[in-house]
Amino acid sequence: MTTTEPAQSTVSMDTLVSLCKRRGFVFPASEIYGGFGSTYDYGPLGVELKRNIKDAWWRAMVRERSDVVGIDTAIIQSPRVWEASGHVQNFHDPMVDCLQCKGRFRADHLEGPACPTCGAADSFTDAREFNLMFRTHVGPVEDAAASAYLRPETAQGIFVNFENVLNATRRRLPFGIAQQGKSFRNEITLGNFIFRTREFEQMEMEYFVAPEQSDEWYARWIDLREAWYHELGIQPENLRRDVHPQESLSHYSAGTTDLQYRFPWGWDELEGIANRTDFDLTQHGESSGKRLEYFDQAEQRHIVPHVIEPAAGVDRIMLALLCDAYRVLPDEKGDDRVVLAFAPRIAPVTVAVLPLSRKEPVADLARQVWDQLRPHWTTQYDDTQSIGRRYRRQDEIGTPLCVTIDFDSLEDHAVTIRDRDTQQQERLPIAELVNALRTRLSF
Ligand code: ATP
Protein backbone atom coordinates (compact mmCIF):
# COMPACT_ATOMS: atom_id res chain seq x y z
CA MET A 1 0.00 0.00 0.00
CA THR A 2 1.36 3.45 -0.83
CA THR A 3 1.00 6.44 1.40
CA THR A 4 0.26 9.82 -0.13
CA GLU A 5 3.03 12.39 0.16
CA PRO A 6 3.22 13.63 3.72
CA ALA A 7 2.51 17.19 4.58
CA GLN A 8 4.87 18.32 7.35
CA SER A 9 2.99 17.53 10.55
CA THR A 10 2.10 20.68 12.41
CA VAL A 11 -0.27 19.11 14.88
CA SER A 12 -0.47 20.89 18.23
CA MET A 13 -0.17 18.90 21.42
CA ASP A 14 -3.64 20.06 22.48
CA THR A 15 -5.18 18.63 19.31
CA LEU A 16 -3.32 15.36 19.71
CA VAL A 17 -4.09 14.95 23.42
CA SER A 18 -7.77 15.54 22.75
CA LEU A 19 -7.85 13.09 19.82
CA CYS A 20 -6.09 10.50 21.99
CA LYS A 21 -8.69 10.78 24.72
CA ARG A 22 -11.74 11.02 22.45
CA ARG A 23 -10.81 8.01 20.35
CA GLY A 24 -9.40 5.83 23.14
CA PHE A 25 -5.62 5.97 22.66
CA VAL A 26 -4.63 7.58 25.98
CA PHE A 27 -6.65 8.60 29.06
CA PRO A 28 -5.50 10.63 32.06
CA ALA A 29 -5.00 8.09 34.87
CA SER A 30 -7.35 8.09 37.89
CA GLU A 31 -9.43 10.64 36.02
CA ILE A 32 -12.65 10.18 38.01
CA TYR A 33 -10.63 11.19 41.10
CA GLY A 34 -9.24 14.29 39.44
CA GLY A 35 -6.25 12.65 37.79
CA PHE A 36 -2.80 11.77 39.14
CA GLY A 37 -0.08 14.14 37.93
CA SER A 38 1.31 13.19 34.52
CA THR A 39 0.16 9.58 34.73
CA TYR A 40 -1.70 8.02 31.83
CA ASP A 41 -3.69 4.92 30.99
CA TYR A 42 -3.70 3.42 27.52
CA GLY A 43 -7.13 2.80 26.00
CA PRO A 44 -8.31 0.17 23.49
CA LEU A 45 -6.48 1.76 20.54
CA GLY A 46 -3.43 2.84 22.55
CA VAL A 47 -2.83 -0.67 23.78
CA GLU A 48 -2.90 -2.02 20.20
CA LEU A 49 -0.54 0.71 18.98
CA LYS A 50 1.90 0.05 21.83
CA ARG A 51 1.74 -3.68 21.21
CA ASN A 52 2.50 -3.16 17.53
CA ILE A 53 5.54 -1.00 18.39
CA LYS A 54 6.84 -3.60 20.82
CA ASP A 55 6.21 -6.43 18.34
CA ALA A 56 8.05 -4.53 15.60
CA TRP A 57 11.02 -4.03 17.94
CA TRP A 58 11.02 -7.64 19.12
CA ARG A 59 10.85 -8.89 15.54
CA ALA A 60 13.76 -6.70 14.43
CA MET A 61 15.90 -7.11 17.54
CA VAL A 62 15.31 -10.76 18.50
CA ARG A 63 13.29 -12.95 16.15
CA GLU A 64 14.83 -11.93 12.85
CA ARG A 65 18.37 -11.95 14.23
CA SER A 66 20.52 -15.00 14.84
CA ASP A 67 22.62 -13.37 17.57
CA VAL A 68 20.09 -11.99 20.10
CA VAL A 69 17.94 -13.72 22.72
CA GLY A 70 15.20 -12.33 24.95
CA ILE A 71 14.75 -12.14 28.71
CA ASP A 72 12.12 -10.88 31.16
CA THR A 73 13.53 -9.98 34.57
CA ALA A 74 11.98 -8.83 37.85
CA ILE A 75 11.07 -5.18 38.42
CA ILE A 76 12.12 -5.36 42.07
CA GLN A 77 15.61 -6.83 42.34
CA SER A 78 18.03 -7.05 45.24
CA PRO A 79 19.04 -3.51 46.29
CA ARG A 80 22.62 -4.64 45.78
CA VAL A 81 22.01 -4.51 42.03
CA TRP A 82 21.45 -0.75 42.23
CA GLU A 83 24.38 -0.21 44.55
CA ALA A 84 26.70 -1.99 42.13
CA SER A 85 25.32 -0.30 39.03
CA GLY A 86 25.90 3.13 40.54
CA HIS A 87 22.21 4.08 40.62
CA VAL A 88 22.05 4.53 44.40
CA GLN A 89 24.98 6.91 44.26
CA ASN A 90 24.68 8.57 40.89
CA PHE A 91 21.14 8.37 39.56
CA HIS A 92 19.96 11.79 40.57
CA ASP A 93 19.02 15.08 39.03
CA PRO A 94 19.75 18.54 40.45
CA MET A 95 16.48 19.97 41.80
CA VAL A 96 15.59 23.59 42.65
CA ASP A 97 12.47 25.12 44.22
CA CYS A 98 11.00 28.51 43.35
CA LEU A 99 10.56 30.41 46.64
CA GLN A 100 7.79 32.50 45.06
CA CYS A 101 5.38 29.89 43.65
CA LYS A 102 6.86 26.73 45.27
CA GLY A 103 7.27 25.17 41.81
CA ARG A 104 9.93 22.45 41.58
CA PHE A 105 12.27 22.16 38.59
CA ARG A 106 15.27 20.29 37.25
CA ALA A 107 18.12 22.79 37.45
CA ASP A 108 19.62 21.50 34.18
CA HIS A 109 16.31 22.13 32.35
CA LEU A 110 16.02 25.82 33.30
CA GLU A 111 16.73 28.50 30.74
CA GLY A 112 17.82 31.72 32.43
CA PRO A 113 17.13 33.08 35.93
CA ALA A 114 13.31 33.45 35.62
CA CYS A 115 10.90 30.86 37.03
CA PRO A 116 9.08 29.16 34.09
CA THR A 117 5.81 29.08 36.09
CA CYS A 118 5.50 32.47 37.82
CA GLY A 119 8.24 34.47 36.09
CA ALA A 120 9.93 35.55 39.34
CA ALA A 121 13.61 36.36 38.82
CA ASP A 122 16.38 34.74 40.87
CA SER A 123 13.85 33.07 43.15
CA PHE A 124 15.42 29.61 43.12
CA THR A 125 16.89 27.71 46.06
CA ASP A 126 20.33 26.17 45.66
CA ALA A 127 20.27 22.93 43.71
CA ARG A 128 19.90 19.72 45.70
CA GLU A 129 20.54 16.26 44.36
CA PHE A 130 17.38 14.16 44.14
CA ASN A 131 17.58 10.40 43.57
CA LEU A 132 15.13 9.32 40.87
CA MET A 133 14.58 5.77 42.08
CA PHE A 134 11.26 4.88 43.72
CA ARG A 135 11.88 3.26 47.05
CA THR A 136 9.55 0.62 48.45
CA HIS A 137 9.51 -2.00 51.20
CA VAL A 138 9.53 -5.71 50.68
CA GLY A 139 7.82 -7.89 53.30
CA PRO A 140 5.80 -6.89 56.35
CA VAL A 141 8.42 -4.79 58.18
CA GLU A 142 9.01 -1.28 56.96
CA ASP A 143 12.58 -0.85 58.13
CA ALA A 144 15.74 0.04 56.26
CA ALA A 145 16.74 -3.60 55.91
CA ALA A 146 13.58 -4.30 53.89
CA SER A 147 14.10 -1.36 51.57
CA ALA A 148 14.13 -2.01 47.83
CA TYR A 149 13.76 -0.07 44.60
CA LEU A 150 11.53 -0.22 41.55
CA ARG A 151 13.88 -0.56 38.58
CA PRO A 152 14.70 2.72 36.83
CA GLU A 153 15.86 0.81 33.71
CA THR A 154 15.58 -2.72 32.41
CA ALA A 155 19.26 -3.03 31.51
CA GLN A 156 20.58 -4.13 34.91
CA GLY A 157 18.31 -7.19 34.94
CA ILE A 158 20.17 -8.24 31.79
CA PHE A 159 23.68 -7.70 33.20
CA VAL A 160 23.01 -9.68 36.37
CA ASN A 161 21.83 -12.60 34.20
CA PHE A 162 24.82 -12.50 31.85
CA GLU A 163 26.28 -15.73 33.23
CA ASN A 164 22.91 -17.52 33.31
CA VAL A 165 22.19 -16.71 29.68
CA LEU A 166 25.72 -17.59 28.60
CA ASN A 167 25.52 -20.99 30.33
CA ALA A 168 22.00 -21.72 29.13
CA THR A 169 22.52 -20.76 25.49
CA ARG A 170 26.26 -21.37 24.89
CA ARG A 171 26.47 -18.17 22.89
CA ARG A 172 29.63 -16.92 21.22
CA LEU A 173 30.52 -13.24 21.07
CA PRO A 174 29.12 -11.05 19.72
CA PHE A 175 25.61 -11.68 21.05
CA GLY A 176 22.81 -9.68 22.59
CA ILE A 177 20.15 -9.98 25.29
CA ALA A 178 16.96 -7.98 24.80
CA GLN A 179 14.23 -6.97 27.22
CA GLN A 180 11.02 -4.97 27.20
CA GLY A 181 9.21 -3.82 30.30
CA LYS A 182 8.13 -1.13 32.71
CA SER A 183 10.65 1.16 34.37
CA PHE A 184 10.03 3.79 37.04
CA ARG A 185 11.66 7.13 37.70
CA ASN A 186 10.52 9.72 40.18
CA GLU A 187 11.04 12.50 37.61
CA ILE A 188 11.06 16.05 38.95
CA THR A 189 9.71 17.78 35.88
CA LEU A 190 7.16 16.03 33.76
CA GLY A 191 4.90 17.28 31.02
CA ASN A 192 4.59 16.94 27.26
CA PHE A 193 1.95 14.26 27.65
CA ILE A 194 3.44 10.73 27.52
CA PHE A 195 6.95 11.96 26.64
CA ARG A 196 8.17 11.97 30.23
CA THR A 197 6.24 10.10 32.89
CA ARG A 198 7.15 8.39 36.16
CA GLU A 199 6.09 4.98 34.92
CA PHE A 200 7.03 4.07 31.35
CA GLU A 201 8.00 1.19 29.15
CA GLN A 202 11.49 0.56 27.83
CA MET A 203 12.94 -1.65 25.12
CA GLU A 204 16.62 -2.28 25.74
CA MET A 205 19.21 -4.58 24.26
CA GLU A 206 22.69 -5.22 25.63
CA TYR A 207 25.02 -6.37 22.86
CA PHE A 208 28.19 -8.03 24.17
CA VAL A 209 31.29 -7.75 21.99
CA ALA A 210 35.03 -8.30 22.17
CA PRO A 211 36.61 -5.04 23.45
CA GLU A 212 38.43 -4.33 20.20
CA GLN A 213 35.15 -4.55 18.23
CA SER A 214 33.18 -2.09 20.35
CA ASP A 215 33.66 1.00 18.14
CA GLU A 216 32.59 -0.91 15.04
CA TRP A 217 29.45 -2.31 16.69
CA TYR A 218 28.58 1.03 18.26
CA ALA A 219 28.53 2.59 14.77
CA ARG A 220 26.63 -0.37 13.36
CA TRP A 221 23.90 -0.26 15.99
CA ILE A 222 23.34 3.46 15.45
CA ASP A 223 22.74 2.74 11.75
CA LEU A 224 20.48 -0.24 12.46
CA ARG A 225 18.37 1.63 14.98
CA GLU A 226 17.97 4.63 12.72
CA ALA A 227 16.85 2.37 9.88
CA TRP A 228 14.29 0.75 12.18
CA TYR A 229 12.53 4.10 12.72
CA HIS A 230 12.41 4.65 8.97
CA GLU A 231 10.82 1.22 8.54
CA LEU A 232 8.29 2.12 11.20
CA GLY A 233 7.19 4.94 8.92
CA ILE A 234 8.81 7.93 10.68
CA GLN A 235 9.60 10.59 8.09
CA PRO A 236 13.40 10.83 7.73
CA GLU A 237 13.43 14.64 8.01
CA ASN A 238 11.86 14.34 11.48
CA LEU A 239 14.64 12.10 12.81
CA ARG A 240 18.23 13.09 13.59
CA ARG A 241 21.29 11.95 15.50
CA ASP A 242 22.62 13.84 18.48
CA VAL A 243 26.18 12.80 19.29
CA HIS A 244 27.04 13.56 22.91
CA PRO A 245 30.30 15.48 23.30
CA GLN A 246 33.03 13.59 25.14
CA GLU A 247 32.90 15.90 28.19
CA SER A 248 29.19 15.30 28.86
CA LEU A 249 29.22 11.50 28.70
CA SER A 250 27.88 9.45 31.63
CA HIS A 251 30.49 7.85 33.88
CA TYR A 252 30.03 4.46 32.19
CA SER A 253 30.00 5.60 28.57
CA ALA A 254 32.73 5.75 25.93
CA GLY A 255 30.24 7.17 23.43
CA THR A 256 26.55 8.01 23.31
CA THR A 257 24.38 8.98 20.37
CA ASP A 258 20.72 9.85 20.78
CA LEU A 259 18.15 9.44 18.06
CA GLN A 260 15.92 12.47 18.31
CA TYR A 261 12.48 13.18 16.87
CA ARG A 262 11.17 16.59 15.88
CA PHE A 263 8.28 16.86 18.36
CA PRO A 264 5.85 19.82 18.24
CA TRP A 265 7.98 21.49 20.97
CA GLY A 266 11.31 20.77 19.24
CA TRP A 267 13.93 18.03 18.89
CA ASP A 268 13.92 15.54 21.78
CA GLU A 269 15.26 12.08 22.58
CA LEU A 270 13.57 8.88 21.44
CA GLU A 271 16.40 6.48 22.04
CA GLY A 272 19.99 6.45 23.23
CA ILE A 273 22.70 4.19 21.83
CA ALA A 274 25.63 3.93 24.24
CA ASN A 275 28.99 2.23 24.28
CA ARG A 276 28.95 1.17 27.94
CA THR A 277 32.40 -0.44 27.79
CA ASP A 278 32.93 -3.20 30.39
CA PHE A 279 31.54 -0.98 33.17
CA ASP A 280 28.44 -2.95 34.14
CA LEU A 281 29.87 -6.47 33.99
CA THR A 282 32.96 -5.34 35.90
CA GLN A 283 30.87 -3.62 38.57
CA HIS A 284 28.58 -6.60 39.08
CA GLY A 285 31.53 -8.98 38.94
CA GLU A 286 33.31 -7.10 41.70
CA SER A 287 30.21 -6.60 43.86
CA SER A 288 28.90 -10.16 43.61
CA GLY A 289 32.25 -11.93 43.70
CA LYS A 290 31.30 -13.83 40.50
CA ARG A 291 33.56 -13.67 37.49
CA LEU A 292 31.35 -12.22 34.79
CA GLU A 293 33.69 -13.12 31.98
CA TYR A 294 33.73 -14.83 28.65
CA PHE A 295 36.24 -17.42 27.53
CA ASP A 296 37.48 -16.70 24.04
CA GLN A 297 38.31 -20.16 22.61
CA ALA A 298 40.19 -18.92 19.57
CA GLU A 299 42.48 -16.63 21.54
CA GLN A 300 42.48 -18.83 24.67
CA ARG A 301 41.82 -15.84 26.92
CA HIS A 302 39.26 -14.67 29.49
CA ILE A 303 37.74 -11.30 28.71
CA VAL A 304 35.08 -9.02 30.12
CA PRO A 305 32.98 -8.20 27.04
CA HIS A 306 32.19 -4.61 26.17
CA VAL A 307 28.56 -3.62 25.71
CA ILE A 308 26.69 -1.60 23.13
CA GLU A 309 23.22 -0.63 24.35
CA PRO A 310 20.35 0.68 22.23
CA ALA A 311 17.74 1.87 24.80
CA ALA A 312 14.36 3.12 23.61
CA GLY A 313 11.09 4.18 25.23
CA VAL A 314 7.80 2.72 23.95
CA ASP A 315 5.67 5.68 25.09
CA ARG A 316 7.91 8.21 23.36
CA ILE A 317 7.93 6.23 20.15
CA MET A 318 4.13 6.07 20.29
CA LEU A 319 3.96 9.85 20.71
CA ALA A 320 6.39 10.36 17.82
CA LEU A 321 4.33 8.05 15.59
CA LEU A 322 1.13 9.91 16.45
CA CYS A 323 2.74 13.28 15.65
CA ASP A 324 4.33 11.96 12.49
CA ALA A 325 1.21 10.28 11.15
CA TYR A 326 -1.17 13.20 11.74
CA ARG A 327 -2.43 14.75 8.48
CA VAL A 328 -5.30 16.95 7.41
CA LEU A 329 -6.19 15.87 3.88
CA PRO A 330 -9.09 16.61 1.52
CA ASP A 331 -12.00 14.18 1.39
CA GLU A 332 -14.01 13.32 -1.76
CA LYS A 333 -15.83 16.66 -1.59
CA GLY A 334 -12.71 18.70 -0.85
CA ASP A 335 -13.54 19.10 2.85
CA ASP A 336 -10.92 18.44 5.52
CA ARG A 337 -10.53 14.99 6.96
CA VAL A 338 -8.06 14.02 9.70
CA VAL A 339 -5.90 11.03 8.85
CA LEU A 340 -3.39 9.16 10.98
CA ALA A 341 -1.25 7.78 8.17
CA PHE A 342 0.29 4.91 10.15
CA ALA A 343 2.25 2.21 8.36
CA PRO A 344 -0.17 -0.76 8.08
CA ARG A 345 1.74 -2.92 10.58
CA ILE A 346 1.62 -0.18 13.20
CA ALA A 347 -2.01 0.90 12.82
CA PRO A 348 -4.09 -0.10 15.88
CA VAL A 349 -6.92 -1.32 13.64
CA THR A 350 -5.82 -2.91 10.38
CA VAL A 351 -9.15 -3.53 8.68
CA ALA A 352 -12.62 -2.17 9.41
CA VAL A 353 -15.74 -4.04 8.31
CA LEU A 354 -18.59 -1.68 7.42
CA PRO A 355 -22.01 -3.07 6.38
CA LEU A 356 -24.26 -0.62 4.53
CA SER A 357 -27.27 -1.98 6.36
CA ARG A 358 -27.74 -3.01 9.97
CA LYS A 359 -30.44 -5.47 9.00
CA GLU A 360 -30.31 -9.04 7.75
CA PRO A 361 -29.26 -10.37 5.33
CA VAL A 362 -26.54 -7.72 4.74
CA ALA A 363 -25.55 -7.73 8.42
CA ASP A 364 -25.36 -11.51 8.40
CA LEU A 365 -23.02 -11.54 5.40
CA ALA A 366 -20.91 -8.73 6.94
CA ARG A 367 -20.48 -10.78 10.09
CA GLN A 368 -19.34 -13.75 8.03
CA VAL A 369 -16.76 -11.54 6.32
CA TRP A 370 -15.64 -10.21 9.73
CA ASP A 371 -15.28 -13.80 11.01
CA GLN A 372 -12.93 -14.50 8.09
CA LEU A 373 -10.70 -11.51 8.84
CA ARG A 374 -10.37 -11.64 12.64
CA PRO A 375 -7.79 -14.47 12.75
CA HIS A 376 -5.47 -12.46 10.48
CA TRP A 377 -5.54 -8.85 11.64
CA THR A 378 -6.86 -6.48 14.28
CA THR A 379 -10.30 -5.56 13.02
CA GLN A 380 -13.25 -3.41 13.93
CA TYR A 381 -16.90 -3.82 12.99
CA ASP A 382 -18.87 -0.59 12.69
CA ASP A 383 -22.50 -0.36 11.56
CA THR A 384 -23.45 2.99 13.07
CA GLN A 385 -24.18 6.23 11.19
CA SER A 386 -23.57 7.07 7.53
CA ILE A 387 -20.79 5.38 5.57
CA GLY A 388 -19.08 8.76 5.07
CA ARG A 389 -18.87 9.33 8.81
CA ARG A 390 -17.60 5.81 9.36
CA TYR A 391 -14.81 6.37 6.81
CA ARG A 392 -13.89 9.62 8.62
CA ARG A 393 -13.74 7.77 11.95
CA GLN A 394 -11.49 5.07 10.53
CA ASP A 395 -9.25 7.69 8.88
CA GLU A 396 -8.89 9.48 12.20
CA ILE A 397 -7.66 6.35 13.98
CA GLY A 398 -5.43 5.38 11.06
CA THR A 399 -7.14 2.22 9.75
CA PRO A 400 -5.43 1.50 6.40
CA LEU A 401 -8.30 -0.41 4.76
CA CYS A 402 -12.08 -0.60 5.07
CA VAL A 403 -14.24 -3.38 3.65
CA THR A 404 -17.79 -2.39 2.75
CA ILE A 405 -20.62 -4.91 2.35
CA ASP A 406 -23.74 -3.70 0.48
CA PHE A 407 -26.96 -5.10 -0.99
CA ASP A 408 -25.20 -6.09 -4.22
CA SER A 409 -22.82 -8.22 -2.15
CA LEU A 410 -25.73 -10.63 -1.57
CA GLU A 411 -25.94 -11.22 -5.33
CA ASP A 412 -22.38 -10.94 -6.60
CA HIS A 413 -20.54 -12.23 -3.47
CA ALA A 414 -18.19 -9.27 -3.75
CA VAL A 415 -17.23 -6.43 -1.42
CA THR A 416 -15.56 -3.03 -1.74
CA ILE A 417 -12.12 -2.26 -0.34
CA ARG A 418 -11.50 1.40 0.43
CA ASP A 419 -7.95 2.75 0.87
CA ARG A 420 -7.37 5.29 3.68
CA ASP A 421 -4.79 7.41 1.87
CA THR A 422 -6.02 7.46 -1.73
CA GLN A 423 -9.72 6.96 -0.87
CA GLN A 424 -9.84 4.71 -3.91
CA GLN A 425 -12.33 1.88 -3.91
CA GLU A 426 -12.11 -1.48 -5.55
CA ARG A 427 -14.63 -4.28 -5.78
CA LEU A 428 -13.54 -7.87 -5.49
CA PRO A 429 -14.90 -11.34 -4.69
CA ILE A 430 -15.21 -12.28 -1.01
CA ALA A 431 -13.35 -15.51 -1.82
CA GLU A 432 -10.27 -13.44 -2.73
CA LEU A 433 -10.56 -10.95 0.12
CA VAL A 434 -7.96 -12.25 2.58
CA ASN A 435 -5.28 -12.59 -0.09
CA ALA A 436 -6.12 -9.21 -1.60
CA LEU A 437 -5.88 -7.50 1.79
CA ARG A 438 -2.62 -9.26 2.55
CA THR A 439 -1.11 -8.04 -0.71
CA ARG A 440 -2.15 -4.46 0.01
CA LEU A 441 -1.00 -4.52 3.64
CA SER A 442 2.20 -6.52 3.04
CA PHE A 443 1.64 -8.65 6.14
P1 ATP B 1 16.04 11.88 29.42
O2 ATP B 1 17.36 12.55 29.16
O3 ATP B 1 14.97 12.29 28.46
O4 ATP B 1 15.62 11.95 30.86
P5 ATP B 1 17.56 9.51 29.57
O6 ATP B 1 18.70 9.86 28.68
O7 ATP B 1 17.72 9.57 31.04
O8 ATP B 1 16.27 10.35 29.12
P9 ATP B 1 17.78 6.71 29.22
O10 ATP B 1 18.18 6.44 30.61
O11 ATP B 1 18.83 6.66 28.15
O12 ATP B 1 17.02 8.10 29.16
O13 ATP B 1 16.56 5.76 28.87
C14 ATP B 1 16.37 5.21 27.57
C15 ATP B 1 15.04 5.59 26.98
O16 ATP B 1 13.99 5.38 27.91
C17 ATP B 1 14.93 7.07 26.61
O18 ATP B 1 15.51 7.33 25.37
C19 ATP B 1 13.43 7.26 26.60
O20 ATP B 1 12.88 6.83 25.35
C21 ATP B 1 12.95 6.33 27.68
N22 ATP B 1 12.69 7.10 28.91
C23 ATP B 1 13.58 7.46 29.87
N24 ATP B 1 12.97 8.14 30.85
C25 ATP B 1 11.66 8.24 30.51
C26 ATP B 1 10.51 8.83 31.13
N27 ATP B 1 10.58 9.44 32.30
N28 ATP B 1 9.32 8.73 30.48
C29 ATP B 1 9.22 8.09 29.30
N30 ATP B 1 10.27 7.51 28.68
C31 ATP B 1 11.47 7.57 29.26
Decide if 399 contacts 349 (C-beta within 8 A): yes
Q: pLDDT tens, 58-111?
A: 999 999 999 999 999 999 999 999 999 999 998 988 888 899 998 888 888 888
Decide if 46 contacts 322 (C-beta within 8 A): no
Task: Say how many Å lie between the CA of residue 359 and the centre of ligand 1.
Answer: 51
Nearest alpha carbon, ligand 1 atom 26: 196
Name residues contacting ligand 1 (CB within 6 A): 153, 185, 187, 196-197, 200, 202, 269-272, 311-313, 315-316
Buried (b) or exposed (e) across 73-95, using 16+ Cβ within 10 A? beeebebebbebbbbbeebbbbb
Buried (b) or exposed (e) across 29-45, using 16+ Cβ within 10 A? beeeeeeeebebebbeb
Q: Phi and psi of 430, rounded to 5°?
A: -60, -35
Per-residue pLDDT band for 8 (boundaries 50, 70, 90) equals very low
Whole-number percent of the chain with pLDDT over 90: 86
Name the residue of 39, 316, 318 to mutate for ligand 1: max ligand atoms within 8 A of Cβ. 316
First to last CA, the chain: 11
pLDDT at 5 over 70: no
Q: Phi and psi of 203, rounded to 5°?
A: -130, 110
CA dist list (Å): 29 to 8, 326, 348, 423: 31, 24, 21, 36
Nearest alpha carbon, ligand 1 atom 21: 313
Q: Domains in the chain, please, with CATH? A: 13-79+149-322 (3.30.930.10), 349-441 (3.40.50.800)
Nearest alpha carbon, ligand 1 atom 18: 271
Rg (alpha carbons) of the chain, rounded to whole number: 25
Task: Say how many Å lie between the CA of residue 270 and the centre of ligand 1.
Answer: 8
> Which residue type occupies 31?
E
Q: pLDDT tens, 200-245?
A: 999 999 999 999 999 999 999 999 999 999 999 999 999 999 999 9
* Mean pLDDT on 294-298: 93
Name the residue of 105, 200, 263, 276 to mutate for ligand 1: max ligand atoms within 8 A of Cβ. 200
Closest CA to 38 of 190, 154, 237: 190
What average pLDDT does the structure give for the chain?
94
pLDDT at 268 over 80: yes
The confidence score (pLDDT) of residue 109 equals: 84
Name the residue of 134, 267, 269 to mutate for ligand 1: max ligand atoms within 8 A of Cβ. 269
pLDDT at 52 over 60: yes
* Mean pLDDT on 260-278: 97
pTM: 0.93
> Which residue type occupies 437?
L
Per-residue pLDDT band for 1 (boundaries 50, 70, 90) equals very low
For the four alpha carbons of 262, 268, 273 and 274, in that order, the dihedral sign comes to: positive
**Given the CA of residue 314, which atom of ligand 1 is nearest to it?**
20
**Given the CA of residue 202, which atom of ligand 1 is nearest to it?**
16
Which residues lie below 8 Å from residue 395, measured CB to CB, with a gap of 6+? 337, 338, 339, 340, 420
Q: Can you tell me whether residue 216 is helix, strand or coil?
A: helix
**Given the CA of residue 185, which atom of ligand 1 is nearest to it?**
27
pLDDT at 115 over 60: yes
Decide if 280 contacts 85 (C-beta within 8 A): yes
Please count the other Cβ atoms lying within 10 Å of the Cβ belonging to residue 373: 19
Nearest alpha carbon, ligand 1 atom 22: 313
Q: pLDDT tens, 399-433?
A: 999 999 999 999 999 999 999 999 999 999 999 99
Nearest alpha carbon, ligand 1 atom 19: 313
- pLDDT-wise least confident of 4-8, 22-26, 42-46, 435-439: 4-8
Per-residue pLDDT band for 7 (boundaries 50, 70, 90) equals very low
**Given the CA of residue 317, which atom of ligand 1 is nearest to it?**
20
* Mean pLDDT on 285-312: 96
The confidence score (pLDDT) of residue 205 equals: 98
